[in-house]
Amino acid sequence: MMNSQLQSNEALMKKMDAQKLLEDRLEISNHRLIEDVKMLNNTQKQIAKANVPAPKVPNGFFQRLLGK
């Protein structure tokens, strides 16, 4: 009885450790995603401030095909 209870407790502790590790990884992933979104937003703002016109693309196959 005592041995099975000990094994059960050890198995539960392993599951809890695995859950904690997963939560830590998810938190790190979320933090990285948030930082990436902030960086993209800043880049978009800088591009908007630069107000550089898009380069003129010569008419290619699809433009000629569509008559544009």
C-alpha distance from residue 30 to each of 10, 19, 37, 46 (Å): 30, 16, 11, 24
Q: Distance between CA 64 and CA 38 in Å, rounded? A: 40
State the pLDDT at residue 1.
Answer: 62
Q: Give residue-wise pLDDT tens across range 25-67.
A: 999 999 999 999 999 999 999 988 887 777 777 777 777 777 7
**27-55: b or e for each residue (b if 16 or more CB lie within 10 Å)?**
eeeeeeeeeeeeeeeeeeeeeeeeeeeee
Residue-level pLDDT at 42:
95
| Domain spans in the chain, listed from the N-terminal domain onward | 23-51
Determine the pLDDT at residue 24: 95
pTM comes to 0.53
